[in-house]
Amino acid sequence: MATEIVIGIDIGGSLTKIGLVSRDGKILDKKIFHTEAHLPYSDFIRRLKKEVDGLTSKLDAKTHILRIGAGASNANPLTGNIENPPNLKWGKTIPLVKSLRKNFKLPVTIANDANAAALGEMVFGTAKGMRNFVTLTLGTGLGSGIIVDGTLLIGEHGAAGEIGHVNVDPNGRMCNCGLQGCLETYASVTGIRRTVFELLANMREDSSMRTYSFEELNGENISDAALEGDIIALRAFEKTGEILGSKMADTVAHLDPEAIILSGGLSKAGDILLKPIKTSMKRYLFNAYRGKIKVLLSKATRSDAVLGPAALAWLEIEKRES
């Protein structure tokens, strides 16, 4: 019997991940390489072609590749371009769909990487069976994807779901996007690092955090310290959860979702983060929603990054089949 697969591609600022993914979400083969976003876009496409061909050349004749799904920060499904990406130095408008179609002679669907991640959760992951939910990816930044009635919310200009850039404090932290006080400057791995440094400046307590430079500090060592009872690390998680929980209540007041699902580096801290989030969200939640909104941790791992783009491709295929 013939096997049908799609190619899922996740283009990140540092790593690009490729996966051959079956309809039931099995990753049959995969490859990760450095995006090297400082080199020209044509170099990236050449490398991508080489790596994809490397994977597909191993397939037998009975395996049919149906479609490519690709996710990248600021990828716009309405234009087919990556637009003004903050982490890719390839220009203002990168014709992703056009390049992929030309190089692979396959139909292509693209989406913002965080939006694709939401589809991955719906089709293969923690949100299986859900029709209304929001995913927040707490990594270097804060990416988000909104699913309404089983469909990805795209918006009028293809740019819905930028919850990382709702405002926490007009006089708050400088954001990479040029604004000040965006949620992602607080609720992300980078955000909690900034919070730890703020607390180290403001508090007097001893802390293992005092031995790290800003560059050395990361989600894992802050989590580890918190688990060992480090007061600065714990307070940093509390503050992060407090801010994120209050903004999650605002998101609920827009969308009334079944669940908000947290993924990404910071979510690995588990209950240390989840507890202050839930306390804070409860405090700010409008009464119509109380006791109704789940806050869940994603079961996805880092290598599952290709499942979002793959889900994007599979959903498009199913839409065309029906």
* Contacts with a copy of itself, residue ranges (CB under 8 A): 74, 83-84, 131-133, 146, 148-149, 151, 153-163, 165-167, 170, 177-179, 182, 246, 249-251, 253-258, 284, 286-289, 292
Beta carbon nearer to a copy of itself, 45 or 153:
153
Burial string for 30-47 (b: 16+ CB within 10 Å, else e) reads ebbeebebeeebeebbeb
Beta carbon nearer to a copy of itself, 63 or 84:
84
Rounded Cα distance between 14 and 28, Å, is: 23
Rounded Cα distance between 187 and 263, Å, is: 12
Q: Tell me the closest approach of the beta carbon of residue 92 to a copy of itself, in angstroms.
A: 11
Q: Tell me the closest approach of the beta carbon of residue 111 to a copy of itself, in angstroms.
A: 13
Rounded Cα distance between 263 and 62, Å, is: 36
Task: Decide: 111 and 312 in contact? Cβ < 8 Å.
Answer: yes
Beta carbon nearer to a copy of itself, 18 or 182:
182
**Dihedral-angle region of residue 45 (phi above 0 means left; psi in -120 to 50 means alpha; beta otherwise):** alpha
Q: Tell me the closest approach of the beta carbon of residue 256 to a copy of itself, in angstroms.
A: 2
Beta carbon nearer to a copy of itself, 32 or 166:
166
- What SS3 state is found at 282? helix
Q: Tell me the closest approach of the beta carbon of residue 217 to a copy of itself, in angstroms.
A: 27
- What SS3 state is found at 108? strand
Q: Tell me the closest approach of the beta carbon of residue 78 to a copy of itself, in angstroms.
A: 10
Beta carbon nearer to a copy of itself, 63 or 151:
151
Contacts of residue 242, defined as CB under 8 A and 6 or more positions apart, other chains included, come to: 276, 279, 280
Rounded Cα distance between 199 and 206, Å, is: 11
Q: Tell me the closest approach of the beta carbon of residue 132 to a copy of itself, in angstroms.
A: 4
Beta carbon nearer to a copy of itself, 195 or 221:
195
Rounded Cα distance between 6 and 243, Å, is: 39
